[in-house]
Structure 1
Amino acid sequence: MVVLILERVKTSQRGEMSRLAIELKPGVFVATVGARVRDQIWKKVCDEWKSDALMLYSSNTEQGYVIRSNGDPSREIVEFEGLLLMAKPDPKASQKDSDEVKESSETATESPSPFLSLEDFFRSKADSLSSELDNDKE
């Protein structure tokens, strides 16, 4: 099974996708297609349409699916200890980070990510759970 979420696409492109899949909501498509067709759809979305998109499809992973992302979708895929999570950037955090970068005299090679606090949160939760498990074993 494949779920394709398209953002900011033309009506004609949605119509073309509706020939291959069911459109549940505007821009949200579901279909059962083979790997070759799935990859051809993804290539068309990325290369020809240059659309912002997310594709989820069944796979033999721990979660049972894989997520692909193209363009600048409204959410970012974050991998945390083998699990794929979706994160929505905090506009306040990104504004604060950009203000701090402007004030800094050093030039950073990477732009600050609003998702760092989310990763820190999950890591601290995982650490606390593992320490609780260690305490229970003793």
Structure 2
Amino acid sequence: MVVLVLTACPAGLRGHLTRWLLEVSPGVFIGHVPARIRDLLWMRVEEMCKNGRAILIYSTRNEQRLAFKVHQHDWEVVDLDGLQLMRRPSEGKVTNPMRHGWSAASRKRRARRS
């Protein structure tokens, strides 16, 4: 079983993936393909998904019965004693940190009420 999640990727890549996998939601593909085809699809995703993000989850023969691959993603795969986990980046590593505080629209709205 293969699950592939794409974010901000070209439509041509999505069209290519629908040859092999079923698109159940925009950017979410699922299917059952051999390991060779899965690896070739992942190579195509890495090649075509330049600025976008991709996560591949597939079944394997290990304790978790699954494995992850990521491309251009903030979260990273970490292997801890044979278990693959997704590690969220610390606050200092975030590429697009959200600004804290009130938005400009919220400040204007609050000013009109007062």
TM-score norm. by structure 2 comes to 0.69
Aligned residues: 93
Larger proportion of helix: 1
Report the counterpart of residue 94 of structure 1 in structure 2: 93
Query: In the alignment, which residue of structure 2 is the partner of 1:26?
Result: 26
What corresponds to 1:38 in structure 2?
38
Q: Distance in 1 between matches of 2:41 and 2:70?
A: 13
Query: Which residue of structure 2 aligns with residue 8 of structure 1?
Result: 8
Q: CA deviation at 1:11?
A: 2.1
Paired letter, 1:7 = T
Q: Which amino acid aligns with 1:6?
A: L
Counterpart in 2 of 1:81?
81
Bigger mean CA deviation after superposition, 37-46 or 11-20: 11-20
Counterparts of 2:65 and 2:43, CA distance in 1: 22
- Pairwise mapping of residues 37-56 of structure 1 onto structure 2 (< 5 A)? 37-50=37-50, 51-56=52-57
Flag as ranges the 4+ runs of structure 1 deviating above 4 A. Answer: none
Change (3 A) 1:13 1:47: closer
Matched residue SS, 1:94: coil
For residues 37 and 18 of structure 1, what CA distance do their matches in structure 2 show? 13
Query: CA separation of 1:87/1:24 partners in 2, compared to 1, >3 Å: closer, same or farther?
Result: farther
RMSD, aligned α-carbons: 2.0
Q: CA deviation at 1:37?
A: 1.0
Question: Are the equivalent residues in 1 in contact too, given 2:10–2:48 (CA < 8 A)?
Answer: no
Q: Which amino acid aligns with 2:11?
A: T
My pick for the range that moved more, 77-86 or 16-25, is 16-25
Point out which structure has higher relative CO (alpha carbons under 8 A, 6+ apart). Answer: 2
Contact 1:7 1:73 survives alignment (8 Å): no
TM-score, L = length of structure 1: 0.58
Matched-pair contact (CA < 8 Å) for 2:78–2:85: yes
Unpaired runs of at least 5, structure 1: 96-138
Write the deviation string for residues 14-62 of structure 1: whole angstroms up to 9, x where unpaired.
1221232122222111110111111110111113444532211111111
